[in-house]
């Protein structure tokens, strides 16, 4: 279940992908990558701009092995999880306000992001600042803050497809319903944009699968994220 982005398309005999900025690594994302065999993949890779490149593929796809032989490393594994946008449970975090993100909060955002995303492979690969701090007005981008204005959590999703690519709550504010409230805010906006589903990648080793499962998301397949770093 890839996101239907329309980046420039690159093709070779028996292989193809589209190019876009990776949402989870400092790399060009090879979106919708397909290749008949190693030779077709080599012909495609020759046409690309310089690495770093990354790709998200099904864990049981032969591409995992083919990419591995060509210098790609797996940097994360996990489950794609999805649910309909209608009927997302409402948030109930006491004393917390949910508002659209503004770029003039970039500094506070980067601090919260560093705390919330520690240990998440996608954040390690993106580096800090991640670039999301310039995301005002792009897709559905909500933050949670307390009465003193401290930024405690954030969620970003693409519109209208509802792909949640960035979500975190600072450790000392977890288990108070903030994540749930952020998903509710994003869901409202995805619904208004006529999106039908929310989709997210639950990285192994994080609380994401437990959290998303509680919110009614179900697993739609296992994926690996692979990166070929700059030479
Ligand atoms: C995942 C994350 C955003 C959850 O945020 P949160 O504000 O703690 O979530 P909520 O308080 O709204 O949790 C809602 C429910 O999800 C479940 N849940 C959340 N964290 C959980 C955990 N660590 N273990 C088990 N269940 C969990 C619980 O059922 C919880 O309800 P409860 O507290 O009443 O039992 C947060 O843990 C986080 O930032 N993790 C690191 C970043 C990350 O993995 N991001 C990717 C997410 S797709």
Query: pLDDT band at residue 91, thresholds of 50, 70 and 90?
Result: confident
- Bond from prior residue into 52 cis (ω within 30 degrees of 0): yes
- Bond from prior residue into 160 cis (ω within 30 degrees of 0): yes
Q: Which of 179, 212, 216 to mutate to test the pocket of ligand 1 (most atoms within 8 A of CB)?
A: 179
Indicate if ligand 1 lies below 6 Å from the C-beta of 213: no
Query: pLDDT band at residue 231, thresholds of 50, 70 and 90?
Result: confident
Q: Which of 120, 207, 217 to mutate to test the pocket of ligand 1 (most atoms within 8 A of CB)?
A: 207
pTM for the whole structure: 0.93
Indicate if ligand 1 lies below 6 Å from the C-beta of 214: yes
Q: Chain-wide mean pLDDT for the chain?
A: 95
CATH class of 86-195: alpha beta
Mean pLDDT of 140-155: 97
With 60 as the cut, is the pLDDT of residue 115 above it? yes
Q: Which two tokens stand for residue 98?
A: 């949910």
Give CA separation, 199 vs 1, 29, 158, 166, 184, in Å: 9, 18, 10, 11, 13
Each residue's pLDDT tens digit, 196-218: 999 999 999 999 999 999 999 99
Residue nearest to atom 1 of ligand 1 (CA): 208
List every span in the chain annotated with CATH 3.40.630.30: 86-195
Other beta carbons within 10 angstroms of residue 136's beta carbon come to 13
């Amino acid at each position: 279940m890839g996101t239907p982005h329309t980046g420039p398309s690159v093709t070779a005999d028996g292989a193809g992908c589209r190019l876009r900025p990776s949402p989870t690594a400092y790399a060009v994302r090879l979106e919708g990558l397909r290749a008949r065999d190693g030779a077709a993949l080599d012909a495609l890779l020759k046409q690309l701009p310089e690495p770093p490149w990354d790709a998200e593929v099904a864990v049981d796809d032969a591409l995992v092995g083919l990419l591995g032989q060509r210098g790609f490393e797996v940097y994360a594994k996990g489950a794609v999880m999805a649910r309909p946008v209608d009927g997302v449970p409402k948030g109930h975090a006491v004393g917390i306000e949910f508002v659209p993100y503004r770029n003039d909060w970039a500094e506070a955002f980067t601090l919260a992001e560093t705390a919330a995303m520690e240990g998440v492979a996608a954040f390690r690969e993106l580096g800090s600042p991640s670039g999301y701090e310039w995301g005002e007005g792009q897709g559905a981008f909500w933050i949670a803050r307390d009465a003193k204005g401290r930024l405690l959590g954030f969620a970003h999703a693409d519109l209208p497809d509802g792909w949640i690519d960035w979500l975190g709550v600072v450790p000392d504010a977890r288990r108070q319903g903030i994540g749930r409230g952020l998903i509710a805010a994003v869901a409202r906006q995805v619904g208004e944009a006529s999106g039908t589903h929310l989709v997210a990648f639950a990285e192994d080793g994080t609380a994401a699968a437990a959290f998303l499962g509680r919110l009614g998301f179900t697993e739609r397949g296992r994926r690996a994220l692979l990166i070929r770093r700059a030479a």
